[in-house]
Amino acid sequence: FSTVPEFNLVSGFSNVRVPQIQSFSDDPNVDGRTDFFNLTVTVPILDNEKIYGISALIFYDVELKNRMKLKMTAMTQISHSSALPGSKLSVFGDVRFKQLYPLSLKGSRADYTSELLDGSSITSIEDTYFSDIIAQSFARNESLMITDAMSHWRPGREVQFTLDARLRIPKSEIRYQNYLCAA
């Protein structure tokens, strides 16, 4: 299932079900900066189904405001599989800003504001392959990744499967290019 309707149309899966999705940002120290992102996805399970794994892409709108202005869409991935069927995956980790090269302090940038999974450009199932979306994100100078992740797979079977993610967003060190001015 995807929150992008075009993804569901081309998936070809007859058993796609709409999950219940809840997400919220948390700022417990009230400094105006998001400290945690919380996501809960609950999928109803039929009697004859068992869940052995999950792969999820989580998309974010990111904005830097301090030394330079940068707006972008970014994503992280959660993936887990098990030999035992499960009823819940709980994930805890840090969402880190990753950059290959220092950012320029000149002006503002909005290089990556186009969606990594753009519904208007989906024409076939090939346009929705996770490996291609991940590769597109990985090729960027700036991206996000989940680090220091800990997870727990709850074995067993229930009437629903739950993905529960609590992702901390620590302050990131951002590198900038140095410019020398001659007077």
Question: pTM of the prediction?
Answer: 0.79
Give the pairing type, strands 160-168 and 86-99: parallel
Span 104-127, mean pLDDT?
A: 61
**What pLDDT digit, counting tens, does each position of 63-99 carry?**
887 777 778 888 899 999 999 999 999 999 999 999 8
Residues of 140-166 as b/e, b for ≥16 C-beta within 10 angstroms? bebbbbbeebeeebeeeeeeebbbbbe
**What pLDDT digit, counting tens, does each position of 9-34 carry?**
556 666 667 789 999 999 999 998 89
Contact (Cβ atoms closer than 8 angstroms) between residue 86 and residue 153: yes
The tokens describing 94, both together, are 């840090």
Give the residue carrying structure tokens 């392959």. 129
User: What was the pLDDT predicted at 70?
Assistant: 79
Distance of CA 103 to the CA centre of its chain: 22
